[in-house]
Copies of this chain bind each other. A is one copy, B any other.
């Protein structure tokens, strides 16, 4: 498929040509589905992790789950669920439309320590692409100096660590520019649906919510 676009080599008005154009456009749309990288660190909160991955895939995102710096081939999450990442962070082929940071205290500490996570976050911010973090994960943004001064939220007990460097809010989900943050397991569906809303559209977010027996 030419990168320059579709060229009908026969007759642009004939039925076969129109059909080929339709197929090409459909392939182009598929190819252009939004991409997300979800960081998987030891001690990640597994509900926040899995809700993010699953809901975004339901929304048509091409999601890669990347084991970070100190991740083993099978990553043990905060309540003992063992999840296998799709790729290692070192094999991630960006840029991604959004980087997603699940919470969990151990997971957030691992992401805060991991230089590669910090470099990806800073590049994502510099190139005006989306970042989303939930629960304890907004502290990872602070650790890497990302999004400073923006409005955000987090798990309530993290407020003191964040309130001097960010405009701290207490809404379920906070969106400021291309930064989406949220509070905990109980807001994880809202968090993931807001990502679909902002990157694809409200109609898609509502459709995905309805199929899960939620409203958005």
The reply to whether the CB of A161 lies closer than 8 angstroms to some CB of chain B is: no
Q: State the copy count for this chain.
A: 2
A19 at the interface (CB under 8 A from B): no
**Beta-carbon nearest neighbor of A63 in chain B:** B80
Instruction: Verify if A84 is at the interface (C-beta below 8 Å from B).
Output: yes
**Stretch from A121-129, A178-186, A196-204 forming part of the interface with B:** A178-186
In addition to A46-B54, A53-B79, 18 A-B residue pairs with Cβ atoms within 8 Å of each other are: A46-B50, A47-B47, A47-B54, A47-B55, A50-B50, A50-B81, A53-B81, A54-B185, A58-B79, A63-B80, A65-B81, A74-B84, A80-B86, A82-B84, A82-B86, A184-B212, A185-B214, A186-B213
Residues of A within 8 A of B (CB): 45-47, 49-51, 53-55, 57-58, 63, 65, 74, 78-84, 86, 155-156, 183-187, 189, 209, 212-214
